[in-house]
Amino acid sequence: MVGDPSIPEDALPRDPLDQGRAIVDFTLTRRFRGRLRQGLMRDRWLYVMLLFPLVHILVFLYIPMWGVTVAFKEFNVFMGYWQSPWVGLKHFQRVVEDQHFWIVFRNSLKFGIASLVLGFPAPIILALLLSQFRQQTYKGTVQTLLYIPNFISMVAIAGIMVDLLEPRTGLVNRLITLFGGTQIYFLVEPAWFLPIYIGSEVWQTTGFGMIIYLAAMSGIDPDLHEAATMDGAGRFRRALTVTLPGIMPTIAILLILRIPTIIHANFEKILLLYRPITYDVADVIQSYIYRKGLLGADFTYGTAAGLFLSVLSLILLAIANSVSRRVSEYRLW
């Protein structure tokens, strides 16, 4: 071992015990490198395929993060990132002092809390109901029909809502007039915007959440259901005492991840559905940033407002994780 020609003599310590340790470390390192090289050669095409999403993440997610420096500078397009002077927290002060920002912030909270209260329990309830179906064909058909809206693009969803709610030719207004009612201009009535948004959001996203909970239910031990049945528990009782506790870890993790989104309304859908007459109730932070920051070319304000929103989301995530860790054993970290 000591005479191993692959180990330089001057690299070995003088103490024989230390020499033995050095030789063992060198041998293990050489074996690890050999296995690593062998694994890389064996799975080289998998690593080549992995390279594309890594490059995509680097180019489109990490490199653009340098743009947040605009929030701390008096950005000038002709001077660029490097030459624009630093102004510290000036633009964040503009955001805080902007009264309209807090109006859209309140609207964002309203949309987010309503989506959380009405949209989060919906897939859990549907998953519990579907888990009780015995006929697999009927269960699969219902599951597919509920999951289809998840594949429809946001533009198509908005187009469907506009066509359904159109005052003269829309199906909803035709049914209203058929039963003796009067036409309602849904998309220009501020009071109707929130129900329209929440209804379309729940319809589009419930199917995907239901699939997640059904997958979690498949990991529950069947013996627990059999034991509950032998104790005389019916379907409803088993759903509450066996199925629901079995998917509770999934529910807790998804709820923690959902909490930060209460200030992130579905910007694309709102942008496609709202009208200038409904700005007071439909305008959210993202749409306001889009209009003021991009359309108004106020890049520093838009960047500062977006960074403020991201930091606030991170704080909400940390609070939600801390509360979950205190009241239960489920947490992200």
* Residue pLDDT, tens place only, 9-27: 555 555 555 555 665 565 6
Check which CATH number belongs to the domain holding 176 and give it. Answer: 1.10.3720.10
d(Cα 228, Cα 239) in Å, to the nearest integer?
10
Q: How far is CA 318 from CA 66, 312, 314, 326, in A?
A: 24, 10, 6, 12
| Residues of the chain where predicted confidence (pLDDT) is lower than 70 | 1-28
- Answer yes or no: do 70 and 94 share one domain: no
Same domain membership, residue 184 and residue 42? no
Mean pLDDT for the chain overall: 86
d(CA 281, CA 189): 10
Query: Taking Cα atoms as reference points, which of 161, 191, 165 lies closest to residue 176?
Result: 165
In angstroms, what CA-CA distances link 302 with 202, 231, 299?
29, 61, 5
What pLDDT score was predicted for residue 22?
60
In whole angstroms, what is the distance from residue 70 CA to residue 101 CA?
19
Q: Residue 3 has what pLDDT?
A: 47
Decide which of 83, 107, 136 is a domain's last residue: 83
Residues 94 and 241 grouped into a single domain: yes
Taking a C-beta distance cutoff of 8 angstroms, is the pair 312, 263 a contact? yes
b/e map 255-273, b = 16+ CB within 10 Å: ebebbbebbbbbbebbbeb
Is residue 173 a contact partner of residue 187, using CB atoms and an 8 Å limit? Answer: no
Q: What is the pLDDT of residues 294-304, one digit of tens each?
A: 888 888 999 99
Residue linked to tokens 């997958």: 215
In this structure, the answer to whether residues 161 and 190 fall within a common structural domain is: yes
- The number of distinct structural domains making up the chain is 2
Q: 304 with 205, same domain?
A: yes
> In terms of domains, do 62 and 128 share one?
no
Q: Is residue 3 a part of any domain in this protein?
A: no
| pLDDT score, position 202 | 92
Here the tokens at position 270 are: 């709102």
In a domain, 2, yes or no: no
Judge if 207 and 319 occupy the same domain: yes
Host domain of residue 227: 90-327
